[in-house]
Every structure is written in C-alpha cells, then in structure tokens.
Amino acid sequence: MEKKSIFGNEIFEYTGAIHIHSKYSWDSKVELSKIVKDAKNCQLDFITINDHHTCEAKVEISEQKYDGLYIVVGYEMNDAQRNNHYLIFNFDEILPTSLSAEEYVKKVSAGNGIGFIAHPIEKRRCKRLRDYQWENWNITEFDGIEIWNFLSEWTDSLSIPFNYFAKIISPNSSIKGPYKDTLKTWDNFNLKGFRKSAIGSTDAHGRSFFTPLANKKLFKTIRTNIFLREKLSEKNSDQQILSALKNGSSYIANYHRGNPENFSCYIYSKQSKNFALLGEEIKLSEKELFLSVKLPQKNMIKIIFNGEIILSEISDTISIPISKSGFYRIEVYKGKFGWIYSNPIYVK
C-alpha cells in the first residue's frame, strides 16, 4: 500500500494482480500457497483468483490467514464453444456453460454480481492456436472490460515453432499495450454513457507446456492498482476492492516497464477545492477545473477526451484547464511500449 497526497488529501493506493488460475482450474496445477508466496514476494497488496467454472479456492482461503495480502475469489465463465470468457465476482452460483453470454451476463448483473469481459479481442498469429473471443457487443449489463491481458497478448505473438523459445526467454518483448480496437470498443460504451471500467490482468496459470510463464515473473507485469479514500478494512476488503474495480477507481500499469510510484491523475476545481479521482465525477459548474497528471519521470502522456486524443506531450507533470463535459482518461508510453492506462474521470 502506498499513501499518496492528492490535492492535499490522503489517498491509499493498492497494487493488484487480477485473473489468476490455481490448481482448482482444469488447466493449472499451482497450489494457492505458492500463488500467495509469489504474490507476497512481488509486493502485491491484493490478488484475484478466477478459476474456470469454480470458486473452490474460497474454501481453502477461508481456512487460512494470509497476512498482508488480500485475496478475492471469483471465477471465469465461458460458453459451450469456450468463447465469451467472463470474470465473475460476488456471485457464488456456478452457472452452466449451456447458457449464452447474454444469459450469464444478465444473470450475474441481476444477482448483484460483478462481471468483466475477459480478453475480448484476440489476434493469433499462429492459426494452429485457437482464440477465445467476445462475440456479442450488444450486451450492456457487464461492469467492465479486461482491456489488457498478458497471457492473451503473449499467445497472440507466438509463431510456432519459429519464435516459441525466444518468447519464453523474453516474454515481455511481446507486451506492447491494449489493442486499439479494444480501447475503441471500451470508449464507445462510455461515449454512450454506460461508464464501463477497465482492468488489466496476468491470466497467470503457472508454468506448464501451454503456459510456460512463471507466476513470480507475471506478477511483476500487468497490474491493476486501485485508489481508495479509506484504507482497506479486514472485514470489508472484498467489497472495497470490487467496488473500486467496478467503478474504475483504478489504473492499469505494466510494472515491467517501471514502477508507477508517485503517479497521480485527477481533476480538481480551483474554486470549490473539490477533486475527482479516477472513476469519479466532478461538475463543470464547480468552475476552474484542471486535469492534473504526475509521473515519476518524463514519458509520453496522451490525454483522451471522449475517445479522442486531445494532447500528446513528453512530460512528468501536466495541468490543463477543462472546459467541456465528457470523460477524460490518460495513456502513458515508454517508447513504443504502453505503460499506464487510466480509467476515465467524468465531467458533468
């Protein structure tokens, strides 16, 4: 946990690895105790376990105490064709794969569950490797989109057998950022007024033939960090983490490209002294609004307003006046590699 002073207020930032598979998934053999050990060694504050079609990890977790690491257990759903992967939280019923994506998204939403569309767009270079796409963008009842998934982007980059071993030796060379069409799809939902959040994940399965990437390396790559106005409480941490992810009080960073220490992004009103963090809303009527971005060092910052880039600048500090209502988010690049992707701040 990192304490940050934002516009004179104490804010708590927690760093998390999302979408991890354990031995309870059919395609992973990793013990929960090993996941916890690696997560702690990588200084993670929270993790989410999303095994395929099971929440069995919950039982094991409830029997132990994991000091200093918050663990949220959900599951990953897919349909009978193994497409339309969906990360489900706060919803204990394991739904049958006979349901369509539309049916399970609606059921989760109606049951107060929280759901994120997982690796929605995959672009396999190697046609022998199958992809797992999101097929129905008419569905609107989901909470957010996993815009960046390490395993998915890495698998897309494989050209078996030619680069397989090179990609195992340096997997990070494949990880460049969310696809433009994924970002566009996400922006389009927010343009329609839906307020969908974004998350970034590892989709870690532990080392096996198909996924030869060790968790202790993956946990130092794509993370989703949440900003909270109050510390996580032992009793209510699941709900605090999940509502931050659902509301987009968070940003995604690839730690392999650098630790986003001291990063902040918010909109404040000089007149009312009010401020909005990522995922929050501020009113134009509060007057003299400014968007502030701070980075630990100079990098390419892009400010995106209603899905369009309005500023690209190499800097470590940006403060620009805001005069239009809509949604503002930022992207930060290190050369050709994407580093930070924030959730939007909404100006009404």
Chain positions contacting Zn ion, by CB under 5 A: 76, 85, 118, 203
Minimal distance, residue 149 CB to Zn ion, in Å: 8
- In the complex, the smallest distance separating the C-beta of residue 83 from Zn ion, rounded to whole angstroms, is 10
Task: Report the nearest approach of Zn ion to the CB of residue 321 (Å).
Answer: 42
DSSP per-residue codes, 244-301: HHHHT-EEEEEGGG---TT-EEEEEETTT--EE-TT-EE-GGG-SEEEEEEEEEEEEE
Closest to Zn ion by CB, 136 or 292? 136
Q: In the structure encoding, which two tokens stand for residue 107, read together?
A: 């059921």
Could you tell me the maximum CA-CA distance found in the chain, to the nearest angstrom?
61
Find the shortest distance in angstroms from Cβ 25 to Zn ion: 8
Residue with nearest beta carbon to Zn ion: 85
Q: Are 172 and 221 in contact (CB under 8 A)?
A: yes
Closer to Zn ion by Cβ: residue 203 or 286? 203
Q: Please, which residue, 74 or 338, has the CB nearer to Zn ion?
A: 74
Cβ burial, residue 222 (10 Å; 0-12/13-18/19+): buried
CB of 196 to Zn ion, least distance (A): 19
Kindly tell me which of 122 and 280 has the beta carbon lying closer to Zn ion: 122
Q: How far is the CB of 329 from Zn ion (least distance, A)?
A: 25
Q: Is the peptide bond before 161 cis (omega within 30 degrees of 0)?
A: yes
Give the integer Cα–Cα distance in Å for 79 and 45. Answer: 32
Name which of 18 and 183 has its Cβ closer to Zn ion: 18
Give the up-direction half-sphere exposure of residue 262: CA atoms within 13 A in the CB hemisphere. 8
Closest CB to Zn ion among 203 and 238? 203
The contacts of residue 76 (CB under 8 Å, 6+ apart) are 19, 21, 25, 50, 51, 52, 53, 85, 86, 87, 88, 118
Q: Give the shortest CB-21-to-Zn ion separation in angstroms.
A: 6
Interior CA angle at 242 toward 264 and 48, to 5°? 95
Assign 33 to helix, strand or coil. helix
Cα separation, 261 vs 75, in Å, equals: 30
CB closer to Zn ion, 21 vs 329: 21
